[in-house]
Amino acid sequence: MKMELADRMSGLGPGSHLCLFYEQDPAEQMPALVPFIRDGLAGDERFIYIADDQTVEELAEHLEQDGIDVAGETRSGRLKLFTRAEWRQPGRLDSQSKARQVRQFAAEAARAGFKGIRFAVEMTWTLGPKIEVHDLEHWEATLNTLFEPSFPSRIVCQYNRSRLAPEVLIAALHTHPEAIFGNAIYPNPFYAAPFILNGNGHGNGDLTNGKLARARLDWMQAQIERARKVELDHQELCRERAARAEAEASKRRAEASEQRLRAFLEQCPECVKVLRPAGTVVEMNAAGLRMVEADSPDRVVGKSVFELIAPEDRARFEAMHERVCHGTTAGLEFEIVGLKGTRRRVETHAAPLSDPQTAGFLHVAVTRDITERKRAETIKNRLSAIVESSDDAIVSKDLNGVIMTWNAGAERIFGYTAQEAIGCSVTMLLPEERHDEEPEILSRIRRGERIDHYETVRRRKDGRFVDISLTVSPIRDAGGQVIGASKIARDITVRKRAEAELRATRDQLGRLNEELEERVRERTASLTEAITQMEEFSYTVSHDLRAPARSMRCYAKIVLEDFGEHLDAEAKGYLERIMRGGERMDTLIRDVLTYTRIGRRQLELVPVCLDKLLSDLIQQYPEMQAPRAFVTIRSPLLEVRAHEPSLAQAISNLLTNAIKFMPPREVPRITVSTEPRASRVRLWIEDNGIGIKPEYQHRIFGMFERLPTSTPYEGTGVGLAIVRKAVEKMGGSVGVESDGLTGSRFWIDLPGI
């Protein structure tokens, strides 16, 4: 209560006018007066104390005991101690005269620079003669009208119950808005100062009987205290209700906060978990369950977290866990192994969490998957190593052309160290006459363009010029905004020198070529004539050789048919060998004729529909049809410009080869498809045959080339030569792809439509 009284007395507002009732001991006044005085002095207000019969020295001693420097405050003029003789005016108490005295005190305080004035008046001064109760009542009522808002004033009037008459004390209650009883300030329901000043106040003439006056005073005080108690009870009830409401609100806020926290934890992209000192999982959020590949909390809650730690990191994790459970925060980077065996690199930040059940600590941690970050760091480190080991100059710069990075290659080419170059403008490398290049380069970079293989000249630190080829690319931030440029500069000085030498050599060769071409033209004419004659001779010879071969085969067949029963097995075998030899001879001659005919023919190229051509070929040859062979055409095939008969001959030979060169008991499966190649079309013929070893692939399109195989296959060795001859005559090319084990992929390139 004393603390509450001190707080109330320190917080009195301007114009406050209180009466303080006490019994006998002046020490009863001090709990209210000391904070009242101290607050005024601290606020640089003048304080006037009107003492009782007790000496001023006795009052000063009380104030000193309560911590107020009476001597110092008195010297400063802030504190003034008066006796009642100095305060009381002679003659009858006159309110107006007394009011002028109070106003004079206030004016003097204002002139002295104080911020307000306070009074503490011991009312025993009213015991003197010529002071009537109604005069005192009128004066106390008048005091309520004297204080001005511009100069704050406050007053406490002290009434000694044992020395003052009851009617005086009743008058005090009629004229003070608040009263102090004991250690409390009470609102005064009997306050009637405005009515007193208007002549309608309470009269005390009916209280001449001292007992009645005392009884009325006691009743008034009891009413004031009862009203205060009712008010306090009401306040206490309100506080209790407010406390209950606040407790319920706090509970709701706590529940809402817990719900928000749980929602946050469930939505948090990092693993949040709580562990017991034994390492068992108490709780883990959804992100954590995904991280350890658990499809429900039951897979991990109540189980040891150590089983999820990679064996090589488990000891370090257990040591960290032990530190956290002893009250220390910690962090660790390690690997986990999910329930499905997936390894992840993670980093965790752990802190101790008080456990009210055990008075110890739980382990709460936030764990982040850094697998991708580590992979990116590895790639970045590799790229950095590549950049640093590159012979080319690799430099980055901002959009103002200021160098930001500088590798060892740049130091070798330009002569500046990284320390010398970083932070400088890239224009230090430009010769005077090329300073206009950099603004143009930066302008294109700002537009997001890339500059490839731009050949120019730069200046080294030693002043020498170096020929370089520049490739400049824009550098973008995470939002795609261009923030700089990456430049790769390759020293092409040696290449430029070689190019100059090459040009000189080319000029010399040009002169020699002119001479050579003249000779070649002369010899070509002679050679062309000789080739024409040779082709005609070859055709004639091949044609004429077919007749003896046919005769030999026919006569052998006649002998075998007419005289076969008179011949032994050996003789029959010889005749059959003669017939087969004749057939091979005829086939060979036919192939040679075809080869020669293709070489001599002038081919007219026209659009050819490959779908129709392939369909017709397969219909003509039973061996290309199921079940003897399965040929798949991936339609639609692209059209080509070709000589249709020659192309049909080439494709027929390739399909025949694919069917013929098969492993024993294997059914041929052939796929035909096309694909565009710029202005040309590539035709693919893919088989499942014996394949062609890489070392033989350059030979197979030559005349009479037959490759070694473990199984003998019939043939003249001219079929693929015909393919090559026909395709090249149509302006195309032919080739093969094979590993020698799993079939072959022959291709023909021809002009597209």
Q: Give the confidence band of 531 by pLDDT, cuts at 50, 70, 90.
A: low
pLDDT of 504 higher than 90: no
**Which whole number is the average pLDDT over 667-686?**
94
Does 103 have pLDDT greater than 80?
A: yes
3-class DSSP state of 74: helix
**Residue 611: strand, helix, or coil:** helix
Q: 452 is written with which tokens? A: 């490839």
Q: Tokens 């710069």 label which residue?
A: 397
Give the span between the Cα atoms of 165 and 124, in whole angstroms. Answer: 11
- pLDDT more than 90, % of the chain: 39
Give per-residue pLDDT as tens, 258-270.
777 677 777 788 8
CA dihedral 401, 407, 410, 412 (to 10 degrees): 160
Q: How far is CA 479 from CA 218, 430, 482, 574, in A?
A: 84, 32, 9, 87
Taking the C-alpha atoms of residue 187 and residue 227, their distance in angstroms, rounded to an integer, is: 8
State the pLDDT confidence band at 19, using cuts at 50, 70 and 90. Answer: very high
- Among 7-11, 28-32, 171-175, 689-693, top mean pLDDT goes to 171-175
Helix (H) or strand (E) run with residue 19 in it = strand 17-22
SS3 486: strand
60-80 in b/e form (b: 16+ CB < 10 A) is bebbeeeebebeebeeeebbb
CATH T-level topology, domain 602-751: Heat Shock Protein 90 (3.30.565)
Torsion sign (Cα): 7, 10, 11, 12: positive
Euclidean distance between CA atoms 176 and 137, whole angstroms:
10
Closest CA to 401 of 446, 448, 352, 362: 446
SS3 state at 404? strand
Grade residue 460 by pLDDT with cuts at 50, 70 and 90.
very high
The position carrying tokens 């866990």 is 321
Contact of 727 with 650, CB cutoff 8 Å: yes
Report the C-alpha gap between 12 and 180 in whole angstroms: 13
Q: Is the pLDDT of residue 539 over 80?
A: no
Is the peptide bond preceding residue 627 cis, with omega within 30 degrees of 0?
yes
- Residue-wise pLDDT tens digits, 167-195: 999 999 999 999 998 888 999 999 999 88
Among residues 222, 199, 158, the alpha carbon closest in space to that of 20 is found at: 158
Do residues 156 and 121 lie in contact, with contact meaning Cβ atoms separated by under 8 Å? yes
| Least confident range of 343-357, 404-418, 540-554 | 540-554
pLDDT of res. 130: 63
Q: In 291-342, at which residue ranges do the beta strands (DSSP E only) sit?
A: 330-337
For 390-491, which CATH superfamily applies?
Answer: PAS domain (3.30.450.20)
Q: Which residues of 701-725 are buried (b: 16+ CB within 10 A; e: fewer)?
A: beeeeeeeeeeeeebbebbbbbbbb
**Nearest to residue 54, comparing CAs of 122, 153, 126?**
122
> What 8-state DSSP symbol labels residue 162?
T
Per residue in 204-213, pLDDT (tens digit) is 444 456 678 8
User: Is beta strand 153-160 parallel, antiparallel or unpaired with respect to 17-22?
Assistant: parallel
Question: Mean pLDDT over residues 617-634, rounded?
Answer: 89
Confidence of residue 43 (pLDDT cuts 50, 70, 90): very high
Q: What are the DSSP calls for 551-601, one per residue?
A: HHHHHHHHHHHHHGGGS-HHHHHHHHHHHHHHHHHHHHHHHHHHHHHHHH-
* Contact (Cβ atoms closer than 8 angstroms) between residue 32 and residue 20: yes
Q: Which two tokens stand for residue 527?
A: 């050679």
CA dist., res. 366 & res. 331, Å (int): 10
Contacts of 143 by beta carbon, 8 Å cutoff, 6+ apart? 17, 99, 102, 155, 175
CA-derived radius of gyration, the chain: 60
640, 653 in Cβ contact below 8 A?
no
What CATH number should be reported for the domain whose range is 2-235?
Answer: 3.40.50.300
Segment 215-244, tens digit of pLDDT: 888 898 888 888 878 877 887 888 888 888
Quickly name the fold that domain 268-374 has: Beta-Lactamase (3.30.450)
Average pLDDT over residues 48-58: 75
C-alpha 423/C-alpha 403 separation (Å) is: 5
Give how far Cα 594 sits from Cα of 537, 538, 598, 601, Å: 14, 11, 6, 10
The pTM of this model reads 0.38
Say how far apart CA 742 and CA 689 lie, in whole Å.
Answer: 7
Mean pLDDT, the chain, rounded, equals: 84
Enclosing H/E stretch for 234: helix 210-267
Q: Convert the pLDDT of each residue in 398-457 to its tens digit.
A: 999 999 999 999 999 999 999 999 999 999 999 989 988 889 999 999 999 999 988 999
CB 327 within 8 A of CB 352: yes
Q: Which of 67-76, 95-104, 334-343, 381-390 has the lowest mean pLDDT?
A: 381-390
Residue 154's pLDDT band, with cuts at 50, 70 and 90, is very high
The residue written with tokens 């093969």 in the block is 736
Whole-angstrom distance, CA of residue 526 vs CA of residue 190: 149
3-state helix, strand, coil in the chain (%, to 5): 50, 20, 30
